[in-house]
Amino acid sequence: MTAALAYVALSVTPVAATSYTMVKEYYGSTFFNDWTFYNNYDNLTNGDVTYVSAQQATQYQLAYVDSSTNHAIIKVDNTSTVVYDNKRNSVRIASSDTFAVGSLWAADMYHVPYGCSVWPAWWSQAPVWPQGGEIDTFEGINTNTQNQMSLHTETGCTAIGQNQTSTLVASTNCSYAANEDQGCIVTDPSTSSYGAGFASAGGGTFVTEMASTGISMWFFQRSQIPSSLSGNASTIDTSTFGVPVANWPSTGCNIDQFFQPQNLIFDITLCGDWADGVTWNDTCSGICYNDWVMGNGTDYNDAYFEVGYVRVFSTTGTNTVVTSNTTTSSGSSPTSSSTPGSSGAMGLPHGYVWMSSIAVLLVGLLSSALLTI
């Protein structure tokens, strides 16, 4: 994730157009009805947060729908005083349903989290990682000004012949086993795609297409959102979107092989492996935990998502929704809480590989021991 960007020449020919029909919408008073709250400390990216339950999120006003705008708010606790060796409360939610190849999802946001120590993401992954793949549509740290997009897969998926507008390509090998699992990264050149610049421009819409022909991502500033999205059309055609800002075609990555149905995820962690990594001093000062997480929380007044909607579309004539059979947690009117055990099945996000490697090693050792008995 911290690799230097390479400027490369890429094709910007028109992409193949596909028609999609809306099959799921998260919006308004029921926005949080079909999400599972992680309800555990951040044991995935070593962040200094505790991800709260649905009930706590409602009680502490960390996940709620603003009745004046009908927008969903997902935020870091900015009112409590955190003392040494404690973590600050935050939110991580994953969609109860998963969405298969042939899906497109759009997230309309008015504000995204930013600031020193802040590490937000809007992304997806299959329940089994890395076998089912991971798609990071929106991710950044600290006071960065540009959004980073990436894929993480098993070995064998690479970015070849990308048809996209961005020339900022940091890596092309998507394998979790390569380059410390930085994934195949494309950075949006627009300074309105992340942070304070995103908010001052009125936000915008992130679109992710997971098709057999490739994975593509678009970002539209508020003033440039296509009418099919701004007008709440039930059917959209990607030909109206233009060339994506990032693209990973199937020529180098068999999408049906490397990507299984995806859970959609919002999360905000603090510090952790990336935000408190080697680039910390590039934009921030002091010690990440001591000087930012600790204290009265006013440093996190900008650490929140404001989401107008999330809409999921399936290729017209199909239904790519894989419905969950488990009870989910609701932030707006909670009925039950998720447990660390159940949410642990969601996998390992953002390149956190060593835990899965240890698990594989332990299984191998156990199998060998049983064979010798």
Question: SS3 breakdown of the chain: % helix, strand, coil, rounded to 5?
Answer: 20, 35, 45
| Catalytic residue check, 139 | yes
**180 flagged as catalytic:** no
How many C-beta atoms lie closer than 10 Å to residue 179's C-beta? 16
Supply 132's token pair.
Answer: 């089912």
Say which of 25, 134, 209, 306 is annotated catalytic.
134
CA dist., res. 255 & res. 147, Å (int) = 23
Segment holding 310, helix H or strand E:
strand 304-315
Element housing 236 (H / E): strand 235-237
- What is the rounded distance in angstroms from the CA atom of residue 95 to the CA atom of residue 208? 15
279 burial via Cβ count (<10 Å: 0-12, 13-18, 19+)? middle
In angstroms, what CA-CA distances link 344 with 78, 321, 341, 348?
27, 22, 5, 8
Residue partners of 71: CB distance under 8 A and separation at least 6: 65, 110, 306, 307, 308
How far apart CA 203 and CA 192 sit, in angstroms, is 8
Q: List the catalytic residue out of 139, 154, 180, 306.
A: 139
Which DSSP helix (H) or strand (E) runs through 372? helix 354-372
Q: Residue 164 corresponds to which tokens in the numbers above?
A: 């996209």
Q: Which residues contact 85 (CB under 8 A, 6 or more apart)?
A: none
| Residues belonging to the active site | 134, 139
